[in-house]
Amino acid sequence: MSTGEAADYLGRSVKTLQRWDREGTLRPATRTQTGRRAYTLEQLDEFLGRRP
């Protein structure tokens, strides 16, 4: 999912997710060919402390 979708899911701003990436708090699962951040639902749930 995109950074915007991930931000909505986490209840945070896009800027916060971008800062977390820079700081190493929450790195994207991958980057697209154009360099955009991409997150997975599983990754975000794990970050929130949820277990699937």
pLDDT digits (tens, 9 = 90+) for 18-29: 999 999 999 999
pLDDT of 33 reads 96
DSSP state of 2: -
Domain membership of residue 36 (yes or no) is yes
Q: How many domains does the chain have?
A: 1
Q: How confident is the model at residue 37 (pLDDT cuts 50, 70, 90)?
A: very high
Q: What pLDDT score was predicted for residue 50?
A: 80
Is the pTM higher than 0.85?
yes
The pLDDT assigned to 51 comes to 61
Please check the confidence at residue 52 and state whether its pLDDT lies above 60. Answer: no
User: Residue 7 is part of a domain; what is its CATH number?
Assistant: 1.10.1660.10
| Domain residue limits at 16 | 3-47
Instruction: Tell whether 13 is covered by a domain.
Output: yes
Interatomic CA distance for residues 15 and 17, integer angstroms:
5
Long-range contacts at 25-33 (CB < 8 A, ≥ 24 apart): 28/3
